[in-house]
Amino acid sequence: MRELVALKCKQCGRVAYPARARCLTCRGREFETIEAQGLAKLLTFTESANLPLGIDERRRTLGIVEFENGVRAMGVLKVAHPQLGMKLKPSWQRVRAIDGEPVFGLTLDAA
């Protein structure tokens, strides 16, 4: 999988993705970069039927997942019946097109 890089606050240890200028917990400004690693656990999900141009699906299921090292991210679920807590395998794939150009993002398949 392509790198999914998050920031970990050196002062309090909070993990942030996407990157922020200040830690949301302690307002610190010093971070170390960490990559999302391993399988992802599904924390929550939703299905959207109101999709923007460039997405060739009628509905799309989006989920928020937590990786084994604490990185949390949102991605497109590629499973028929998602269940909270299920393990998912991450990958980096085309998720839509803008002006004919492909846009890549996090996709999650059953592990």
Name the helix (H) or strand (E) containing 45. strand 40-48
Residue 84 belongs to domain with CATH number:
2.40.50
pLDDT digits (tens, 9 = 90+) for 19-58: 899 999 999 999 999 999 999 999 999 999 998 877 888 8
Q: Name the strands in the sheet holding 15-16, side by side, starting at the edge strand that comes first in the sequence.
A: 15-16, 5-9, 31-35
pTM of this structure: 0.85
Is the predicted pLDDT of residue 2 greater than 60, yes or no? no
Find the domain containing 84 and state its range.
5-110
- End-to-end CA gap in the chain: 14
The tally of domains found in the chain comes to 1
Cα of 25 vs its chain's centroid, Å:
21
